[in-house]
Amino acid sequence: MAGHSHWAGIKHKKAANDAKRGKIWSKVARMIIVAAKDGGGDPGQNLALRYAIDKAKGANMPKDTIEKAIKKGTGDLGAVEYVDVLYEGYAPGGVAIMVEGLTDNRNRTAPEIKKIFEKRGGSMGASGCVSYMFKKKGLMTVKTDVADEESLMDIVLTAGAEDMENIGEVYEITCEPESYDELKSALEEKEIPLETSELSRIPDSTIPVANVDTARKILNLMEDFEDHDDVQEVYANFDIPENILTQLQ
């Protein structure tokens, strides 16, 4: 879990600048299109669509852009076909990597992902080579300075959380995917602001990164994947100690 926390924290600190906002909107729009296509255009009846819309709002996507993406998914604005893809492999240091994407052309995306792995000293593996190391979970983080730990623990456990851990600047809260919506609603009702809120793949265990050079290669690889248009999410099981992270900044 610590590896995921580091990556989530690093992404949050980098924060999406204006230059990348269009790319983020494009990725979230694909998520909305697929969710609406699979489960219909009513977020009240479609959890995947509701989750995608939440991500869109978190990225400050305009309401009309969200509505347009929903209509593309339901076919009201013409057919758009994206398929789910999942790539697995290894980063330097033996770190396991999972790359989730949505693409309109598998034959284009797969070799591009393979090239990114190899460019940064990693390797793409066969399907299933690392996925067994990760579990699907709901993941939320709350800043430690906005909530009392004991009170927050009571709220989240009552609402279906599996675990809550203080990892420094934030409390990391995990739950089973089916409890995600109820837990998020409970925190919103108590007006507790969320730093992050997502359905994620969390590693069963992590691999400590021993030096700055390896850490830099891993983070460069993660960033290259994040910058790829077809990639939606990247997960890894690295654990970079704070003293090494400090040297990278």
Which string of DSSP letters, residue by residue, matches 11-66? HHHH---HHHHHHHHHHHHHHHHHHHHHH-S-TTT-HHHHHHHHHHHHTT--HHHH
Q: What is the CATH number of domain 2-74?
A: 1.10.10.200
Mean pLDDT, rounded, for 35-47: 92
Same fold, 2-74 and 134-203: no
What DSSP string runs through 167-191?
A: -SSEEEEEE-GGGHHHHHHHHHHTT
Predicted confidence at residue 87, as pLDDT, reads: 98
**What's the token pair of residue 146?**
């906005």
C-alpha angle 10-87-167 in degrees, rounded to nearest 5? 25
3-class secondary-structure state, position 108: helix
Task: Give CA–CA dist 175/173, Å, rounded.
Answer: 7
**Backbone φ, ψ for residue 94 (5° rounding):** 75, 15
Class at the top of the CATH hierarchy for domain 134-203: alpha beta
**What's the token pair of residue 144?**
């430690």
Which one, of 133, 117, 121, lies nearest residue 3 by Cα?
133
- Calculate what percentage of the chain has a pLDDT beyond 90: 68
Mean pLDDT, rounded, for 77-106: 93
Predicted confidence at residue 22, as pLDDT, reads: 67
Mean pLDDT, rounded, for 48-64: 91
For the sheet with 231-236, list strands across it: 123-124, 83-91, 95-103, 231-236
- Residue 209 Cα to chain centre, angstroms: 21
Beta 123-124 vs 83-91: how paired, if at all?
antiparallel
Domain boundaries defined on the chain = 2-74, 83-132+205-248, 134-203
For domain 83-132+205-248, which CATH number applies: 3.40.50.2300, 3.40.1080.10, 3.60.120.10, 3.30.70.980?
Answer: 3.30.70.980
pLDDT for 9 beyond 90: no
Mean pLDDT, rounded, for 140-162: 93
pLDDT for 1 beyond 50: no
Residue 231, classified by CB atoms within 10 Å of its CB into exposed (0-12), middle (13-18) or buried (19+), is buried
Mean pLDDT, rounded, for 48-54: 91
Task: Give CA–CA dist 39/129, Å, rounded.
Answer: 30
Task: Give CA–CA dist 13/161, Å, rounded.
Answer: 26
